[in-house]
Structure 1
Amino acid sequence: MTVLADDPTAAAILAAASCYPVPPVGRSPAIDAVRASRTSQCLAVGRDGVMLIVRRPWLELDIPVTPPFPAYLPYGSVGERRAELRCGLMPRELLGRILDHFRAALPNEAAAFVLWNENERSFSIHYPQIDDATPSRVTYRSPILAPDQHLICDIHSHAHGAAFFSATDDADDAHSTKIALVLGRLGQPEGPAIASRLCAGGMFLPLPRSPFSGDDDAA
């Protein structure tokens, strides 16, 4: 077997972020195993570029990370992009409860998480410990999860301000796999405003639709 790195730490990192070529015919057992897994990820290299494949108990994501290569590669296609919630859409009523909580916290910002219990296949809200909250900033702590719990959605408010992701949000979300939402213009007639994205592989991906049941569009 080819050794990819002589440093043990580097070898462990490469093993956790495997990269597989797509065969020109037939299937790749290695890529198929990642796609069928409960928790795994890899990069698939094809003639049409590189695709990040991410699997979590709650998420199936196949997303291109490069354009097609200009050079000829004797590989197959990486396939179509896809993003599916294995856990299903979050119940709309959870968003209503979170909005009520955020409005009660005005004029300060606030935060909430949506968790999913894999064994019970049920969703719940976790309101985190708030270290500091003002009308323009909130700092809070991620929950300590039980083995069967998964953090699906990280939500915070911008109180009366616009809904957008700040540079601080980008830094906080860079190494997470989760849905992130910012809710703004709370308590205003035209509100609320919602900014949304899927965080995975260091990328911030637009949501094709709302992650909540009963909504058609993502903000």
Structure 2
Amino acid sequence: MDVRDQALLASCPVVAAPRFSPLPDMANGQRIIVASNGWFVQTRLDWLDCITALSLDTPAMRLPYGEVREHLRFSFGQLPIPLIEAFVAHGRKHLPDEAAGVLIYSRGTGRLRLAFCEAVRASPVRIDYRRPPMADDETVAVDLHTHGRAPAFWSADDDRDDQGIKVAGVFGLLDQPKPMARFRLVINGLYQDLPRHPWPGPDAFADRVDGEESAPWPNRWMRSVIRRWTGA
């Protein structure tokens, strides 16, 4: 095998789901799981452990593997609402321009801290920024930015900028008493909305049809995860 392929498979291996035993443990990283009920990606970092479906379509050929269930766990537990409130206050201070910040996870303490990003260029419709310095045991877990007086939504710029693995949050309507917010999990180009997020503002999905799910991902297991994450 070409050494480049060996490196690719080492960085993101493909495993078959055991039928009669649990999945083998994994170190920090990412792997693809082939199961009888679909394809999944498992991601593990200091602050994140999740299995997310890439496809839940049952293969036409019956595979002799086990089934896999999605799950999501944050090592930091509940999202600290005071940190979110502090970021919203920071965003209001910079109106009408956008603002950015991050919640940084420390492996040593197991906790999050809020840090504001240095704006290189900022306007009411865009911000380019530098992330703050971090210690060796720290990593960005939650990436936050505002849309000023505009609603909270995921723009084409957001999709281009949201790379890697993180939770992303965007806040809008900061000139109103209760700003709007949206959160999503970002896994290397896979975006999964977290519609039942902790911010008690206007519903970012208010324009959906009655009875229609707000996003394709929020099934029963995801709703229970969000309750544990937010303390709701």
C-alpha distance in structure 1 between counterparts of 2:198 and 2:190, whole Å: 18
Do residues 73 (structure 1) and 63 (structure 2) align? yes
Deviations 1:65-101, CA, capped at 9 Å, x for gaps: 1122121212121x21111111112211111111111
Contact 2:36 2:58 in 1 (8 A): yes
1:100 to 89, 95, 113: 89
Contact 2:152 2:171 in 1 (8 A): yes
SS in 2 for 1:69: coil
Q: How far apart are residue 140 of structure 1 and its match?
A: 1.0
C-alpha distance in structure 1 between counterparts of 2:189 and 2:94, whole Å: 31
1:55 to 34, 37, 44: 44
* Farther-moved stretch of structure 1 (204-213 vs 80-89): 204-213
C-alpha distance in structure 1 between counterparts of 2:43 and 2:131, whole Å: 22
Aligned to 1:210: 197
SS in 2 for 1:33: coil
What is the identity, as a one-letter code, of the residue corresponding to 1:195? R
Deviations 1:11-63, CA, capped at 9 Å, x for gaps: 21121000011233334xxx4222xx3x1221110111111111111111011
SS in 2 for 1:57: coil
Deviations 1:93-112, CA, capped at 9 Å, x for gaps: 11111111100001111111
Flag the 1:62–1:211 CA change in 2: closer, same or farther, 3 A.
Answer: farther
C-alpha distance in structure 2 between counterparts of 1:215 and 1:33, whole Å: 28
Contact 2:164 2:189 in 1 (8 A): yes
1:126 to 112, 115, 128: 115
Identity %: 29
Flag the 1:193–1:61 CA change in 2: closer, same or farther, 3 A.
Answer: same
Do residues 21 (structure 1) and 6 (structure 2) align? no
Unaligned runs of 5+ in 2: 200-228
Aligned to 2:214: none
C-alpha distance in structure 1 between counterparts of 2:49 and 2:161, whole Å: 22
What is the identity, as a one-letter code, of the residue corresponding to 1:207? L
What is the identity, as a one-letter code, of the residue corresponding to 2:166? K
Do residues 117 (structure 1) and 109 (structure 2) align? no
C-alpha distance in structure 2 between counterparts of 1:120 and 1:84, whole Å: 17
C-alpha distance in structure 1 between counterparts of 2:231 and 2:196, whole Å: 8
Do residues 32 (structure 1) and 24 (structure 2) align? yes
C-alpha distance in structure 1 between counterparts of 2:7 and 2:197, whole Å: 37
Aligned to 1:9: 4
C-alpha distance in structure 2 between counterparts of 1:141 and 1:70, whole Å: 48
SS in 1 for 2:157: helix
Query: 4+ runs of 1 displaced by more than 3 Å?
Result: 211-216
Q: How far apart are residue 120 of structure 1 and its match?
A: 1.6
Contact 1:177 1:201 in 2 (8 A): yes
2:176 to 188, 191, 195: 188
Unaligned runs of 5+ in 1: none
2:71 to 60, 82, 85: 82
C-alpha distance in structure 2 between counterparts of 1:22 and 1:82, whole Å: 15
Do residues 91 (structure 1) and 80 (structure 2) align? yes
Q: TM-score w.r.t. structure 1 length?
A: 0.85
